[in-house]
Amino acid sequence: MNTIIVKTPVTRHLGELFSKNGLSKKTVVLFDENTRNLFGSELLDLLTEQGFQWLDLVVPAKETSKSFNTANKLYGKMILADVDRSWNLLAVGGGVVGDLGGFIAASYYRGIPIIQLPTTLLAMTDSSIGGKVAINHPLGKNLIGFFHLPRLVLIDPAYLKTLPMREIHAGMAEVVKYGFIADRDFLFRLDRHFSEIIALEEPFVTDAIRRSAEIKSDVVEKDFREESGLRATLNFGHTFAHGLEKLADYRYLRHGEAVTIGMVCALSLSHGLGYLNREELDQGVRILRKFRFPHGLVQRRFLGESSESLLEYMLSDKKKLDRKLRFVLLKSLGSAFLLEETVEDHHVLKAITEAKELFKKALAC
């Protein structure tokens, strides 16, 4: 499984961390334009000081970098620099760089080790962990990829200080999600220390990240290839969130914002189907509200559309393949499961409508 190190400043210890984990000091460093500008020179200087041989590569900081064309260009630069199987690849950035770097490392010379150095909250707590790497095909996102576990995930919470506030809030949705699905104590710790975490104060922010990364890693270890249904619980709130993202045509809203709304719906469905009691439903919504509900356009989009139209978008790829929606529900705060049975549409509609009411009521508080 991945070794996860949470440390500030992690880059001063790369030499020692690589050696301890059996990694060579020959590394391809993949940045996006932002991380190259913000941390590039300093990081490369540190690598040189610590005796590394490195090749630095940069891609635009956008989803379109996760393409065959970009991968092919990067392979070419690596071949010309005589990068061989004794090298490894260090990906410095958010989800795009992590996914693309993982894809390249998985496939170059039939696989070289990948080390993740995530710089966004979402990458630190989710995408850098678990070994799902992919690029996009013109016909769909993340369709071409592999399972290629990182040898090392190096998390330095200090990088979060470079992020805009909206990014932090959106990223917190996945952090709170880990509490909901797997750790009640953690959920209430997040609740208690909300203001310190959101202000990136130590040790609270490090605890939040470390525990999230641990939960993700544990779940992945137990169900690497998504066979038992356990890994699927990481998608709590996501069935609703994907519908909302499609409804909004992936504009105006961050993934984390859609997930927050999705979790309100999933809590409501868990209660509606008799799994979660009323008190825990209310507590859950209160915690999500505290970590901030999305506002402005995103909020209006959710509250303004009919429940039927959200369900329609949730179902849109499923219908033509004659597939059913699958839901992750809570039995209690801190304990999720994948529901095997099909949920009838009227239950889903009721849960969405109820979620809107809960959302509005919470906003009014």
Nearest to 85 by CA among 26, 19, 15, 22: 26
The active-site residue out of 151, 177, 211, 231 is: 231
Ligand-binding annotation for 141, yes or no, is yes
Structural tokens at position 319? 């219908």
Q: 235 an active-site residue?
A: yes
Q: 42 an active-site residue?
A: no
Ligand-binding annotation for 238, yes or no, is yes
Facing residues of 88 across strands? 27
Query: What does DSSP assign to residue 340?
Result: -
Establish if 68 lies at the interface with a second copy (CB under 8 A): yes
Establish if 130 lies at the interface with a second copy (CB under 8 A): no
Q: 308 an active-site residue?
A: no
> What is the rounded CA–CA span in Å between residue 41 and residue 119?
16
Ligand-binding annotation for 161, yes or no, is no
Establish if 319 lies at the interface with a second copy (CB under 8 A): no
Which is nearer to a second copy, 234 or 355 (by Cβ)? 234
- Total residues binding a second copy (CB under 8 A): 27
Residue 241 · residue 262 · CB < 8 Å: yes
Establish if 143 lies at the interface with a second copy (CB under 8 A): yes
Ligand-binding annotation for 98, yes or no, is yes
Q: 174 an active-site residue?
A: yes
Establish if 144 lies at the interface with a second copy (CB under 8 A): yes
Q: 354 an active-site residue?
A: no
Facing residues of 50 across strands? none
Q: Give the 3-state secondary structure of 265-309.
A: HHHHHHHHCCCCCHHHHHHHHHHHHHCCCCCHHHHHHHHHCCHHH
Establish if 137 lies at the interface with a second copy (CB under 8 A): yes
Which is nearer to a second copy, 101 or 256 (by Cβ)? 101
Establish if 106 lies at the interface with a second copy (CB under 8 A): yes
Q: 226 an active-site residue?
A: yes
> What is the rounded CA–CA span in Å between residue 65 and residue 209?
27
Which is nearer to a second copy, 231 or 271 (by Cβ)? 231
Residues 145-174 that bind a second copy (CB under 8 A): 145-147
At 143, give phi and psi (nearest 5°): -80, -25
Q: 12 an active-site residue?
A: no
> What is the rounded CA–CA span in Å between residue 35 and residue 37?
5
Residue 129 · residue 213 · CB < 8 Å: yes
Residue carrying the six token digits 């013109």 = 138
- Pairing type for strands 53-59 and 114-118 reads unpaired
Catalytic residue positions, numbered: 110, 132, 174, 216, 226, 231, 235, 238, 242, 255
Annotated binding site for Zn(2+): 174, 238, 255
| Residues in contact with a second copy by the rule CB under 8 A | 68, 72, 75-76, 79-80, 82, 84, 106-111, 132, 134, 137-140, 143-147, 320-321
